[in-house]
A and B are shown apart, each in its own frame.
Chain A
Amino acid sequence: MSKLELPPYARALGIKAHDVEDGVPVLTVEFGPSVEGRPAHYHGGATAGLLENAGYAALRARLIEEGREAQLKPVNITVQYLSAGKPQPSFAKGRITRLGRRNANITVEAWQDNRDRPIATAIMNILMA
Chain B
Amino acid sequence: MIVMRCERFQEFSMNSPLARFDPSEASKFFFQHGHTGWLGLKYSAHADNWVELELPWRDDLMGEADRAVLASGPIISLMDMASGMSIWQTKGTFTPIATLDLRVDYQRPARERSAVWGRVECYRITRSAAFVRGIAHDGDRDDPVAHIAGVFMTIGNDPREGKVPEGSAQASEAGTGDE
Contacts and interface: CB of A to CB of B under 8 A. Distances in A.
A25 interface: no
Contacts of A8: 59-65, 71
Interface range for B: 35 or more
Contacts of A47: 174-176
B6 A38 contact: yes
Main SS of chain B's interface residues?
A: mixed
Interface range for A: 35 or more
Contacts of A79: 76, 99, 101-103, 176
B153 to A, nearest CB: 9
A66 B71 CA distance: 25
B176 A120 contact: yes
A89 interface: no
Contacts, number: 183
Given A8-B59, A81-B100, A52 B175 contact: no
B128 interface: no
B179 to A, nearest CB: 5
A44 B174 contact: yes
Given A39-B7, A43-B35, A74-B106, A81 B77 contact: no
Given A8-B60, A74-B106, A83 B174 contact: yes
Interface of B: 1-7, 33-39, 59-65, 70-74, 76-78, 80-81, 98-106, 109, 170-179
Interface of A: 5, 7-13, 33-39, 41-49, 52-53, 73-86, 90, 119-120
